[in-house]
């Protein structure tokens, strides 16, 4: 669909969804974002848009010589990884409970972490220099080095997941969603708090949108920590993907893995749009430059998409990061039961207890409708359906 233009304050808002389908609080947030004096051209809003802390989830914001840490989110570098295997559905066992258990045994979920560090030179060759850079992060997190090392290669909770999927050709995929874990959250919270104290943010319509300005020590400190956390998130997904692939390799010695796909969807990128160098924050959005591969997941009982970007300039070459929530976690818990969850995840080997009812498919938007709304942003490479889903 073509974007709908809504008049904003300083810049307009381009939406790849109907404005009347956006919740009131989210629309108010978007108006506040559009009032930022550093905003360039317009605000791009993805079809999975929904209310978020500070900045709206599903927003793409290009700022001139400024960046808002809340427009990145507290899970810095959160994103997706996926790999297609040579296996087909017929290679999988009749019951998938054992496979799920073996995967859960190697990837800690929720608040759990590895007893011994899980990263190896199979994942990257420069771990020593990566961890050395930890010492240059803000002193506020200096006591967290050991925790960060043991959380490397862990899933976390909430909407993070690890899945085995089938595409329409019945080929088996591994897909996962996670970010920078506790260390990324602590770095984000620290810098959001610092930004709120700066004088140039005093008159903003929402103090959570506080920005750092280019050429200041606060901006330099944030960007240093931000890029380290984004790297942490990318490595975290790579370690988990290797751990799960090792499980499959032990089960199916003949298996072959294709080149993995990886993408952030909560991050900052230095880019050029409309002839201007800008800092782009994507919060709940992937980069979809022409020809670039991306991953757009649905909820745990529906399906997901591997996509190729079309490089639409009006979206700042972006697309949605998933289906997007249509109700809060609290509302989902009050609306649905464990029985509803079991019904909506029929055919998927996964948790079906009250502890994950807030992740029920009914709490999310229709992924196929979201995809239809962004047909000018991405083209579909493959549609996947979960057969195993692991959540914290």
CB atoms within 10 A of CB 121: 8
Is 322 annotated to bind ligand? yes
Which residues are CB-neighbours of 94 under 8 A, at least 6 positions away?
Answer: none
Is 375 annotated to bind ligand? no
* Of 279, 368, 378, nearest in space to 60 by CA: 279
Report how far apart, in Å, the C-alpha atoms of 66 and of each of 135, 190, 209 are. 26, 18, 11
CA-to-CA distance for 138 and 141, rounded, in angstroms?
A: 6
Which of these is catalytic: 50, 190, 273, 321? 321
Is 114 annotated to bind ligand? no
Residue with token string 């507290």? 74
Is 266 annotated to bind ligand? yes
Is 289 annotated to bind ligand? no
* Of 178, 114, 104, nearest in space to 390 by CA: 104
CA-to-CA distance for 78 and 262, rounded, in angstroms?
A: 11
Is 304 annotated to bind ligand? yes
CA 370, 53, 139: angle at the middle one, nearest 5?
Answer: 125
Residue with token string 């997190």? 141
Is 150 annotated to bind ligand? no
Is 119 annotated to bind ligand? no
Query: What DSSP designation does 356 have?
Result: G
Is 300 annotated to bind ligand? yes
Is 159 annotated to bind ligand? yes
User: Is 321 annotated in the active site?
Assistant: yes
Q: Strand, coil or helix: what is 85?
A: strand
Is 272 annotated to bind ligand? no
Annotated binding site for Mn(2+): 75, 160, 177, 265
What residues are annotated to the active site?
A: 321
Which segments are annotated as binding site?
75, 159-163, 177, 265-266, 297-300, 304, 321-324, 391
Q: Which residue ranges are tagged as binding site for GMP? A: 159-163, 265-266, 297-300, 304, 321-324, 391
């Amino acid at each position: 669909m073509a974007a709908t233009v809504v008049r904003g304050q300083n810049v307009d808002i381009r939406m790849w969804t109907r404005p009347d389908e956006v919740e009131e609080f989210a629309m108010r947030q978007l108006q506040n974002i559009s009032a930022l004096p550093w905003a360039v051209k317009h605000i791009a809003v993805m079809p999975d848009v929904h209310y978020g802390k500070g900045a709206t989830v599903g927003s793409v914001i290009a700022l001139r010589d400024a960046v808002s840490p809340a427009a990145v989110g507290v899970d810095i570098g959160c994103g997706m990884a996926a790999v297609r295997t040579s296996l087909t559905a017929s290679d999988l066992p009749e019951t998938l409970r054992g496979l799920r258990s073996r995967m859960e045994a190697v990837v800690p979920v929720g608040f759990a972490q590895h007893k011994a560090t899980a990263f190896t030179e199979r994942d990257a060759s420069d771990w020593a220099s990566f961890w050395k850079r930890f010492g240059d992060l803000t002193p506020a997190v200096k006591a967290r080095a050991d925790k960060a090392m043991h959380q490397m290669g862990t899933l976390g909770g909430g909407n993070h997941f690890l899945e085995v999927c089938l595409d329409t050709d019945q080929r088996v995929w591994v897909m996962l969603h996670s970010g920078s874990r506790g260390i990324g959250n602590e770095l984000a919270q620290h810098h959001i708090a610092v930004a709120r104290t700066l004088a140039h943010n005093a008159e903003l319509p929402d103090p959570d949108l506080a920005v750092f300005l280019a050429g200041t020590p606060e901006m330099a400190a944030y960007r240093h920590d931000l890029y380290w956390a984004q790297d942490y998130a990318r490595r975290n997904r790579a370690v988990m993907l290797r751990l799960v692939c090792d499980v499959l390799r032990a089960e199916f010695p003949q298996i072959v893995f294709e080149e993995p796909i990886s993408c952030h969807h909560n991050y900052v990128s230095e880019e050029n749009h409309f002839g201007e160098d800008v800092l782009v924050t994507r919060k709940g959005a992937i980069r979809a430059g022409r020809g670039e591969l991306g991953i757009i997941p649905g909820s745990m009982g529906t399906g997901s998409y591997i996509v190729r970007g079309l490089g639409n300039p009006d979206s700042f070459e972006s697309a949605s990061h998933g289906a997007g929530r249509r109700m809060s976690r609290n509302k989902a818990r009050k609306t649905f039961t464990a029985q509803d969850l079991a019904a909506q995840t029929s055919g998927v080997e996964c948790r079906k207890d009250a502890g994950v009812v807030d992740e029920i498919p009914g709490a999310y938007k229709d992924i196929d409708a979201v995809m239809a709304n962004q047909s000018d942003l991405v083209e579909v490479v493959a549609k996947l359906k979960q057969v195993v889903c692991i959540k914290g």
